[in-house]
Structure 1
Amino acid sequence: MKDHLPKFKSTVWVNNLGYISLQTFQQHKLVEALVAEITFSAIWQKLITKASDHIYEDKTLCKSIMEEYVVAMKLQIPACNTKKLGSMIPAFRSFVTVDKDTYTGDVCITKKEAEQ
Structure 2
Amino acid sequence: ETILCKSILNEFVVKTNMEKPSYTVVQASGLLPMFVSSVVFNGVTYTGNAAKSKREAEQLAARKVIQTILERA
- Short-chain TM bin: 0.7 to 0.9
Q: Tell me whether 1:113 sits opposite 2:61 in the alignment.
A: no
Task: Tell me how far apart the structure 1 counterparts of residues 35 and 14 of structure 2 sit (CA, whole Å).
Answer: 27
Bigger radius of gyration among the two: 1
Indicate the residue corresponding to 1:101 in structure 2: 44
- Given the alignment, which residue of 78, 84, 87 partners 2:21? 78
Mark the runs of 5 or more structure 2 residues left unpaired by the alignment: 60-73
Aligned CA-pair RMSD: 1.1
Percent of matched pairs sharing the same residue = 37
1:109 shift after superposition: 1.2
| Separation of aligned partners in 2, 1:84 and 1:70 | 27
Correspondence 1:65 to 2:43: no
Q: Deviations over 1:5-54 (max 9, x none)?
A: xxxxxxxxxxxxxxxxxxxxxxxxxxxxxxxxxxxxxxxxxxxxxxxxxx
**In 2, distance between residues paired with 1:115 and 1:104?**
9
Counterpart-to-counterpart distance in 1, 2:13 and 2:46 = 14
* Long gaps (5+) in structure 1: 1-57
Q: Which runs of 4+ in 1 moved over 6 A?
A: none
Q: CA deviation at 1:110?
A: 1.2
| Partner SS, residue 69 of structure 1 | helix
User: What is the number of equivalent residue pairs in this alignment?
Assistant: 59
